[in-house]
Amino acid sequence: MTVNIAFLADPHLCAIPSRRNCLELLERNVPSQLDTLRSGRRDPRSPGDRWSWKPGSFDKRPLLAAADLLADIASEIDLLVLLGDLSTTGRADDLEVAQRIFLDDSVLKFATASQEPRFGGKGLKFHVIPGNHDRYQDDIGTPGGTLFDSYFKSVYTPRTGVSTVSVGKDGVSATIVSADFCHLPGATLNLIKRFGWGSVREAVLAELEHQTLEAKLLYPSAPVFWALHFSPSENVSSRLQLEDRDLVIDAAIRHEVRHIFCGHTHLRTREIGTFPHIYSAGSVSACDSRNKHFLHICSISKSGDDHALEISDLIFDEPSGEFVLNPLSDIA
Ligand SMILES: [Fe+2]
């Protein structure tokens, strides 16, 4: 038998869809595009886009496709893990959109609402962690927002920033322990750290280790995975670092946690040379991830006393408007 866990990362929901951050232009042909830099100006080649100095938001098509796909296979999915940055900021107007799209299970009132992505009401079990964007108190990345905790309180009940969920059926089980390494209110940060860095806090790491030990005592035969928004890999862009990341790696080795699932980078990568293996998820719908929107399904099976993981990557196919299997799928 198999336990299936779906991972979605960095949807970046927002009151303003299709808002693209103008810093993206720095990676493109800037001189010919300077006229798009004014806030709210539309790009003639992508008329639905709005360019702004504010953080980029989300594209609706991949999110709708992800919601539709998960609705179709909901009976096969034992857990849906949201790896952070559910919203573009931690302000109420953005969090309301994220809450509605992920948790609202009410019947949609109008036929046109079928074009609205909805993950609620499908019978999916959620495990949620916040990302740095969920903690922004404003559009300039002031850290320490706490509204996320109340908007997602039905599925997010951490203890010192850490929460645990276990899933199992027919003798196969797994536990996920997740931790919030976002900056606290009042942290003094330069611009780079404010927008892209996390920090391993001593109390959160201690709780992560504590809940890992608890899970191993409670479910000794179930493998424990960690879910973090920030990747503890050393191969992450300097803009997106987790400060003191080596403390996480050392703790994972100490507790024999072999697999760590992350978001944040918006790039699909797998580092499976030595344990712990680190998987960074691609963003499901962030505007800056056009042509590389992902969702991931981890299938856990058991043979004797050993567990095996098979991770399938699905990538959004723009022409068909559907997620399709990415050929790089492999066994970890
Ligand atoms: Fe993100």
Tens-digit pLDDT profile for residues 242-260? 999 999 999 999 999 999 9
Q: What is the pLDDT of residues 89-126, one digit of tens each?
A: 999 999 999 999 999 987 665 556 667 889 998 899 99
Element spanning 245, H or E: helix 245-254
Give the closest residue to 96 by CA, choosing from 150, 168, 155: 150
| Integer angstrom CA distances of residue 233 from 74, 243, 278 | 31, 11, 7
Ligand 1 center to residue 290 CA distance, Å? 13
Ligand 1 center to residue 110 CA distance, Å? 31
Predicted structure pTM score: 0.91
**Phi, psi dihedrals of residue 27, rounded to the nearest 5°:** -90, 0
| Integer angstrom CA distances of residue 240 from 93, 122, 245 | 25, 33, 11
Ligand 1 center to residue 189 CA distance, Å? 18
How far apart CA 94 and CA 99 sit, in angstroms, is 9
How far apart CA 326 and CA 268 sit, in angstroms, is 11
Ligand 1 center to residue 148 CA distance, Å? 15
Ligand 1 center to residue 172 CA distance, Å? 32
Q: Which SS3 state, helix, strand or coil, does residue 238 take?
A: helix
Ligand 1 center to residue 171 CA distance, Å? 35
How far apart CA 7 and CA 85 sit, in angstroms, is 13
Question: Over the chain, what is the mean pLDDT?
Answer: 89
pLDDT at res. 108: 62
pLDDT at res. 109: 58
Ligand 1 center to residue 153 CA distance, Å? 21
Number of domains in the chain: 1
Structural domain boundaries, residue 20: 2-28+37-331
CATH code, domain with 106: 3.60.21.10
Give the number of residues written for the chain.
Answer: 332
Ligand 1 center to residue 234 CA distance, Å? 18
Give the closest residue to 260 by CA, choosing from 328, 162, 326, 179: 179
How far apart CA 156 and CA 243 sit, in angstroms, is 24
Ligand 1 center to residue 265 CA distance, Å? 7
pLDDT: is 327 or 207 the higher one?
207
pLDDT at res. 46: 57
Q: What is the pLDDT of residues 25-80, one digit of tens each?
A: 555 444 444 444 444 445 444 556 777 888 899 999 999 999 999 999 999 999 99
